[in-house]
Amino acid sequence: MGRRRTLRIDATAGRTYDRRLAIELDVTPDPHGHIVMIRTSESRSLRRIAAVSALAAFAALTPTADVSAQGIDEVLEAALEGYAWRNIGPDRGGRSIAVSGVVGRPQEGYFGAVGGGLWKTTNGGDDWFPVTDFQINSASVGAVAVAETNPDLVFIGTGETCIRGNILPGDGVYRSRDAGATWEHIGFSESHGISKIRIHPTNPDIVYVASFGKYSAESEERGVFRSTDGGDTWERVLFRDARTGAIDLVIDRNNPDVLYASLWEAFRKEYTMSSGGPGSGMFKSTDGGDNWTELTRAEGLPPEGVVGRIGLAVSSADSDRVYALYEHDDGGLFSSDDGGESWTLVNDNRAIRQRAFYYTHVFADHQDPDVVYIQNTSLFRSTDGGATTEVINNGTHGDFHDFWIDPLDPSHLVVGNDGGGAVSFATGAEWTDQEFSTAQFYHAVTTDHLPFHVCGSQQDNSTLCLPSDWN
C-alpha cells in the first residue's frame, strides 16, 4: 500500500449547499496511486461529497498542489480530464422513432436511437453499428431518409417529436454523401425536433423537412421546408403560426408534385403538455409545395372540435387512396378514394388511436391500396383498407413509432419501436433481434461488489445490473 495522506478540502459545494465545507479525509492509495480506502469524519449526509472530492483531488493533484481555494466543481472538472467514457452495455436496444431501408440494397437499413445516434445494418438486420458517433451534436435522431436514386445520400433529423415526458432535443438536420461514413450539419439548429424528412423519388436535389420547432415555446423554425439544391439552402413553404409545427409529410411516388402534410399545435413542458388546437390541420399541395389547400374539415372528417396529431399515408398502388389517422374525439382511421376531397371513417378502435400524442402513425403499402399498417402499442396490419387489423409484433418489442416498406418487395419491412430497429423479410411474421447498446436508463446506482456493479431501470423494459468491468 502507498503512503497514507490526510487532505483537507475547504471548498464551496456548488449549487447543492449554500455553506462552505471543511472536509478532512484520510485517503490510502495503493502502490499505483489508486485510491482503495476513504475515511471521513463528516456526517453521513456529507460523505458523498467528501468521497467525490477526495477522488477528484487525488486524481488531479500533485503532492504539492493546493486546492484550498478551489471549488468542488472546479476540482471535479480538472479530475475528469483524465478519464474516458467506456460502454459497459447492456446489448439491449432502446427506443427508436426513425427507420429507413435502402431501395435496391435490401441488406442495408438505418434506425435512429433517441439517445444513441444513427445505427446501420449491412446484413439485413442481423448486426447493427453506430455511424454518427463523435460527428453530430445531438444523441437523439428522430428522422432518417435515404435517396432512392442515390442510396449513398442520407439525411437525418435530430430531436424527438413523440413528445413523452422525457425527451431529448436536437440541433437540426445532417447530411451524409457516403452512406453514413461522414456527416455535415445543414440547418435547423433552432428546432428541437425534426418530424420527417422526405426526398423526391427521382430528383434527390429536392428535399422536404417537417419541423416541429421548440417543445415549450413559440418559435419560427416550424412547418414544412423545401430545398432544391440537395439541402444547401431551405425555404419555408407551409406555416401556420409560431405555436404550430409540422408532424407528418408524405409524397405521392407516382406524382411527386403531390404532397400531403399535417400540422400540429402542441407543446411539452416539465409539468404539463398539450396536444391539439386551432393550428392543427391537414394540407395538400399539387405543385411541389408552392401552394397548399387545407383539408382539415373536408367532407367526411369531423366538422368541428379540437384536432390534434394527424398521421398520413398515400398509396403508391393508387394515388387517389389516402389514409389519415386523426386525433379527435370522433377520430380514428379515415380513408379517401379521391385524393383527399372526401373521407370515410373506416376504424375508430381505441387500440389504434390511444395516447395519440405519442403514436398516430399510418403507412400504406406500395403495391396494394388496401394494405395499410398502423402503429400504436402494437403493430397492426390490414388487408381491407383498415376496417379490420391483425397484430404482427411477433416477438419484436412493443410501442411502435416508425415504419418503412420496400417499394420493390412488400414483404421487406423495417420497424422502429421502444426496442430499437428491426427488419423483416416475411411481412412481419418474424423480426431480427434488437441486441445493441441503445438502452435509455432513468437512473443509475452502484453496488459494493468488487468489481462494483452498475444498476438501473431501462425505459420500457426491466431493471438490471452490469459488472463495471464488462466490455
Q: Mean pLDDT, to the nearest integer, of 7-21?
A: 35
Q: pLDDT-derived band of residue 56, with 50, 70 and 90 as boundaries?
A: very low
Backbone angles phi, psi at 445, to 5 degrees: -135, 160
Three-class secondary structure assignment of 249-271: EEECCCCCCCEEEEEEEEEECCC
Q: Picking from 52-56, 363-367, 392-396, which range would have the lowest pLDDT averaged per residue?
A: 52-56
Phi and psi at 77, nearest 5°, equal -60, -45
Q: Which of 75, 39, 36, 37 shows the shortest CA–CA distance to 59?
A: 75
Per-residue model confidence (pLDDT) at position 10: 38
CA–CA separation, 163 and 406 (whole Å): 28
Q: What is the mean pLDDT of the chain?
A: 88
DSSP state letters, 284-302: EESSTTSS-EE-TT-BTS-
Q: How many CB atoms lie within 10 A of CB 55?
A: 17
Residue 53: strand, helix, or coil? helix
Say what the pLDDT of residue 52 is. 42
pLDDT band at 413; cut points 50, 70, 90: very high
User: Which amino acid is residue 34, in one-letter code?
Assistant: H
Of all helices (H) and strands (E), which one includes residue 442?
Answer: none
Cell representation of residue 176: 451524409
DSSP-derived letter for residue 352 is G
29 pLDDT higher than 90: no
The greatest distance separating any two alpha carbons of the chain, rounded to the nearest whole angstrom, comes to: 84
Residue 350 DSSP class: G
Q: Taking Cα atoms as reference points, which of 432, 350, 465 lies closest to residue 109?
A: 432
Share of the chain above pLDDT 90, in %: 76
The predicted pLDDT at position 355 comes to 96
pLDDT tens digits, one per residue of 115-168: 999 999 999 999 999 999 999 999 999 999 999 999 999 999 999 999 998 899
pLDDT tens for 94-107 read 999 999 999 999 99
pLDDT at position 194 is 98
pLDDT in the model for residue 9: 38
Q: Which residues pair with 402 in a beta bridge?
A: 416
Give how far Cα 360 sits from Cα of 12, 163, 306, 310, Å: 50, 12, 16, 6
Higher-confidence position of 127 and 65: 127
pLDDT of the residue at 2: 44
Using one digit for the tens of pLDDT, what is the confidence trace for 172-181?
999 999 999 9
Full strand arrangement of the beta sheet holding 453-457: 445-446, 453-457, 463-467
Q: pTM for this one? A: 0.84
> Which residues is 263 bridged to in the sheet?
246, 281
Residue 414 pLDDT grade (very low, low, confident, very high; cuts 50, 70, 90): very high
